[in-house]
Structures are given as structure tokens and as C-alpha cells.
Structure 1
Amino acid sequence: MPLISFAKALRDSEHLTRRHLLLGNGFSIACRPNIFVYGKLFEQADFSKLSPSAKKVFKALDTQDFEKVIKALRDAKAVLSAYDGVSKKLLTTLQEDADGLRELLVQTIASSHPERPNEIAEHEYAACRDFLSNFNTIYTLNYDLLLYWTQMHNEDGVDPTSDDGFRKPEDDYDVNYVTWEPVNSHQQTTWFLHGALHLFDAGIEIQKYTWVNTGIRLIEQIRDALKLDYFPIFVAEGTSNEKLIRIRHNDYLAKAYRSFSEIGGGLFIYGHSLAKNDDHYLKCIEKGKITNLYIGIYGDPETPSNKAIIARANKMVSARASKISSSRRRRADLSVSFFDAGSAKVWEK
């Protein structure tokens, strides 16, 4: 199947009133493949605080994907709980390893993350800003700081064009962080759908760590928080349903989910495999008002992984059609096109 170029996808979408972007891990991998692919994270992870068996599960499942192993451990606990004679100690270990892997993933990303924004070259920031400028709203499933750094990387005195909804708290303007409130989200143009390293749930408020308010490098603040067992908002559960449960119980994540559910016009997906564990967002596309879907494909469309992406995309088209026929509400058909992800040149001129 031939792919269109990113430039042609943009031209084809010019008639749409709004264009949105959904980013997956491929966005970060395209910038620093030596850090953000699961294999590299697995190599750098410190499994010493988990049971000796936790790391062996990766080998047993022939994967380096943390989320797949988390799901497998939770499934194993559910199955074994139905059998008589299974020790409570084993069930507890399975649960503790599943929870521990989630925290380990956060710690590993933070520990291996680029230290400073200036480790990303000026030409990389410029290329990425050009790419992002094509879209009205940006949604990301990534946890790292690359998108945030890019949006904040402007000349001195020039305000960012993006709005992530965070502001200084009105009742305590001297604090060294900013907070998110639903009232500030109406003009928001950037959403971290699964949380991010620099976003923390502080109970009565959602906080964002920043450099400008402290003078301390952002990644250093995050690592210090992790040492104190303060964990960022981070959705890394094993299944789509588990992720959705977590999303619905956090004010910021729930609002992000509703925002994505309500968008119309065109949606570009870059760096995401349409994996089943993110079905909660893929189903939003099926049920929603998006009319034109543009999906980035890396490499040969005939590889098994790319065939799976294409099949899932076509399933979304079919699901929309079935919803139109079974509903009295007027819904637009969903059109899908596939573009060459490499032609987008997200991090290179």
C-alpha cells in the first residue's frame, strides 16, 4: 500500500476547520532512540527492589515492554486467586511486582532522561516547532519532557504559543510551582493524556514543576521528588480498562479525556502503534466527531506491525459506520489516510 507524504496529508486537510495531533512514543524515539525505546529502558532499569522473579517475566514473555508485563502479572494474580491452595504470599508478590514495575518505569525514564534542555540542538527544536505549528491542539501519550521543552524553547521575552492550562495559584502566588484548574482549561492547547514526569497530584491540587520558578533543573526536581516517594501523574497500567479507571479518578486526566473525546475535524497520529492497551482513546475516535484521520507509518507498510496498525485503523472506520447506522444521531463518516512518518522530519530540517 503506497503512503502519502506528510506534506500531502497537510494539503489534503487544508479544508478542515481544525487539525489536532496525537503523539505516541515514536515522537520521543525519533529524537533520542538511544533512550526512549523500551529495550533501552529495560537495560537501564534497576530491578533490585522487586522480587527475583520480576525480571524473569520479561524473558518468559519475550518482551521488554513494561506495560505488557504489568498486565501479565495482574492477570496471573486474578487467575491464581480462583484456585484453591495458592499461597497468599505468591498473590501478594505478583501484586507488588506489578505495582513496583509501574514505579520502576517512572524512575528509569527520569534517571535516563536528558539532563538539560540544551542537550536538544537548536535545529531540532526549530524542526519540531515547525511540525507542531500545523496543529490547533496537541495531545500526547508520552511521559517525558521533550514536548514541554520544545514548547517552552523560545527566544528571551517571547511567550510560548501553546497553553497547557497551568497558572500560578491565585491564593499563593509565591509558591515555586504552577497549578492546573478546570477554569483555566478552556483555551488549553496541550494535554498530557497519560500524565507526565513534571505533573504531580498533590491531593487538593495538580502541580507542575518548572525551572523558571526555582532555578533548579526540572529533571533534578523530579528525581528529588522520586527519592521522597512522590510520584508524578503517570498512567502505565497494563490494560486499556485499567488505564481508563485511573484516568477517571484524576481531575486533570479526566478533563484531558473529555477534551480528546470532543474534538472534530482532522486528527494526525504520529508515533503510535494503535495498540490495544490504548483502546480507551481509539474508541473515542470511533465514537467521536473526527472526520479525517491521518496516521503515520514508519517504514514498509507490509511489515506485520504496520499491517496491524492499518487493520486497527480500518476497524475504526467500520466501527464509525456501524454507529452511524445504529444511531439516530447524525454522525460523519470517518476517512483514514496513511502518511510516511519519516517524511514529517519532526526533529530534522
Structure 2
Amino acid sequence: MIYQWNEIKCRYSDLLLLGNGASRAINNGFAYNNLKERAAEIGIFDGGHQDLFDRFETADFEYVLRKLWQTSLVNEVFEVEHHRVQDAYTQIRDALVRSVRAVHPEYAVVDQQNTIRNVYNFIRQFKTVAALNYDLIVYWAVMYGRDLRDGYEVKDCFTVRSAEGNRFDSDWEEYRAPYRDANNHVTLVFYPHGCLSLVKGNSGLDIKISVRNELNLLDEITNRWNDAGLIPVFVSEGRSEEKLESIRSSQYLSTVYFEALTQPCDSLTVYGWDFGSQDLHILKALKKAAPNRVAVSVYNNDEDYCERISRVIRQRVSLDVEIDFFHSDSPGCWSHPVPNPV
């Protein structure tokens, strides 16, 4: 049986995991997971760049940029001429920026019919939200609820101020406590695969790019990438093993993966994620979280999908876990509105 979200939501309030299907449900401009493919399509990738990706056997921009950055540091120590490495770094970073701009819709396009408000109303129901996508939808939703006094507090734990920007507080569990009212419900938001707003500063530390006006966020991000030469912190593509290697290279991603995702939870809700082999590392983390119940969104009454996902969950997460499926277009679910929204 495939339920409506309202029929089961009272039993699912702990961990919410969002996959690429969540973004595509809002705007098909988010369909591109492989930014390297997109860069080639719009003609901003030359043969030398392609050779680098092939040599490292990856499609992950962040991984290649990190390798070039490390090479430059080594060359400086040994006083080796490295202008070609620096040029490649700049060109590949620019290709990434242009690719992101090519695929990422503007705020006004995404927020048609109060979409961001609907997303906020959905994610605030959960104790923890883990967004696997690099896009800004969830970040915009967090910004939407920032100044509301609605009995909810949605936080991302980037509160440690530095000259470069806000850094993640490693004591993230302390943020479970409300700021404003002891009765407020608190939601903590994490990005296990990074996000466009997260960058590695010149200090080597992960920081978040922030603005007061959500309409300017995408422009501010791409400007900071270009002007400050910052490396984006997100895992854009690759096999599960490659993704885990990128995660280990980041303090923020490591903390999210090894601590937040593995924190024991009673219930897990999955929206728009297909449990693919490229994300086996996420399934390993969820196994440690050991949920008693799992709810999974289903598109277009796909019974074959339900059977496949049930097998994967029982094989990879828990043999005894209870599994519910719900329609991905249910009222009140993700970006779909509810009557009389707040």
C-alpha cells in the first residue's frame, strides 16, 4: 500500500533524507548530477581538462580542484614552476562556476507558488534534515524561517565567526536546545555531500557563504568563487568510494557523516532518493542510525520501485525495519502545499 503523507506523518519526525528527486520535483533544471558532463555540453571544457578527470578516474570537480591546490603547495615548497597548474586550477574552477550557473534556477523561478515556504513547512517537522543535493533549496528554506516567530527553529550550526565567514561548530549537538523559547521545536540541517554555499577558505577551513537577502545568494556564491578563489565543498559525482574519500577530506563533511547521520533515530523519512550503488556509504551510515521505521516517497505509483527499495533497505539497513511508502505528490509533503499554510 502507498499512503498519503498525512496518513503516516505522525509516526515520522526524526531524520529526513533528501535526494536529487526532491530538487527535480521542484524544477527540472536540477536534473544534472554530473556537472562535468554539463560543462562539456556548453563548451567550457577543453581536452587537457578532460585528461585530468580521466587520469584521476573521477567526475568530481571538488576532487580535481583539491588535487591541483595540493600540487601548487608542493611546487611552492620545492620552488618548482607551476603556472600551468595554477592556470588549470583557475580554468576548471571557472568551468565549475559556469556549469553551476547553467543548471541552477534563480530564486524567483524556484519560489513560484510559494515553494520555499512549503519546503520550510515540511522540513521543520523533523528533528534532523540531511540534504544530499548541492543546490540551495534547503538553504533558502532555512533563510525563509530565520526571522519567523512560529514556534520552530531551523539551524545549520554555522555560528563560529571568522575573518573569512561563519564556520561550523563541532559541538553541534548543543544546538538541539532552542534559542528563543523552551517550547520551540528545533530542526538541525546538514549537507552530507556539501552545498554550493560551503567553501574551503584560504585557511583550509570550511566556511559558509551568507547573505541577508536570499535573492542575492546565488550571485554572491559565484562571485566569491571567482573573486576569492575559494574551493566549493560539495561532492558532485563519482562512485561511493570516491564520495567517501571527499567526505574524509573535509572536517564539516566528516562530522556530518560520522556523527550526525549515524546518530540513533527511531524513524527515517526518505524523499527523492533512489538508494543507488553510488551512495552505499550513506546506507552504511543509516545502518548505524538503526531506525525502527522507514518511510520512502514513491513517484507515479511505482510498485516495482517499492519492491526494489524494500529489498535494499532490508539488506543494507535492517532486516526487521518497518517500511512505509507514501506518494511523493501528497499534500503537505516536500514542496506541495497544505490547506491554510502558516
Fold conserved (TM > 0.5)? yes
Aligned equivalents of 2:33 and 2:278: distance in 1? 19
Q: Which residue of 2 aligns with 1:9?
A: 8
Of residues 132, 138, 144, the one that matches 2:129 is 138
Task: Find the residue that maps to 2:308 and give its secondary structure.
Answer: helix
Matched, 1:255 2:255: yes
Preserved CA contact (<8 Å) 1:102 1:237? no
Shift of 1:151: 1.6
Task: Find the residue that maps to 1:222 and give its secondary structure.
Answer: helix
Aligned equivalents of 1:292 and 1:103: distance in 2? 44
Q: Which residue of 1 aligns with 2:168?
A: 180
Shift of 1:116: 3.8
Q: Which amino acid aligns with 1:301?
A: D
Preserved CA contact (<8 Å) 1:110 1:197? no
Task: Find the residue that maps to 2:9 and give its secondary structure.
Answer: helix
Matched, 1:21 2:16: yes
Q: Which amino acid aligns with 2:45?
A: K
Preserved CA contact (<8 Å) 2:140 2:214? no
Shift of 1:318: 3.7
Shift of 1:102: 9.6
Q: How many residues align?
A: 287
Preserved CA contact (<8 Å) 1:193 1:256? yes
Moved over 6 A (4+): 100-103
Structure 2 CA distance for partners of 1:215 and 1:207, relative to 1, 3 Å: same
Aligned equivalents of 1:266 and 1:154: distance in 2? 24
Task: Find the residue that maps to 1:210 and give its secondary structure.
Answer: coil
Deviation per CA, 1:213-266, whole angstroms, max 9, x where unpaired?
A: x99922112212333542210112411011111112211001101210123110
Aligned equivalents of 2:283 and 2:326: distance in 1? 18
TM-score, with structure 2 as normaliser: 0.71
Structure 2 CA distance for partners of 1:293 and 1:101, relative to 1, 3 Å: farther
Shift of 1:122: 5.9
1:140-155 pair list within 5 angstroms? 140-154=131-145
User: Could you say what the CA RMSD is over the residues aligned between the two structures, in angstroms?
Assistant: 3.6
Deviation per CA, 1:93-139, whole angstroms, max 9, x where unpaired?
A: xxxx9xx9898566422344233468614632332222113211100
Q: Which residue of 2 aligns with 1:37?
A: 31
1:85-100 pair list within 5 angstroms? none
Structure 2 CA distance for partners of 1:191 and 1:39, relative to 1, 3 Å: closer
Task: Find the residue that maps to 1:261 and give its secondary structure.
Answer: coil
Identical residues among aligned pairs (%):
23
Q: Which residue of 2 aligns with 1:217?
A: 216
Q: Which amino acid aligns with 2:123?
A: L
Of residues 100, 110, 119, the one that matches 1:109 is 100
TM-score, with structure 1 as normaliser: 0.70
Aligned equivalents of 1:296 and 1:270: distance in 2? 5
Q: Which residue of 2 aligns with 1:278?
A: 279
Task: Find the residue that maps to 2:199 and give its secondary structure.
Answer: strand
Shift of 1:47: 3.5
Of residues 290, 294, 312, the one that matches 1:315 is 312
Aligned equivalents of 2:112 and 2:336: distance in 1? 10
Aligned equivalents of 1:69 and 1:288: distance in 2? 29
Aligned equivalents of 1:235 and 1:145: distance in 2? 14
Task: Find the residue that maps to 1:217 and give its secondary structure.
Answer: helix
Structure 2 CA distance for partners of 1:207 and 1:38, relative to 1, 3 Å: same
Task: Find the residue that maps to 1:131 and give its secondary structure.
Answer: helix
Structure 2 CA distance for partners of 1:10 and 1:157, relative to 1, 3 Å: closer
Shift of 1:158: 4.6
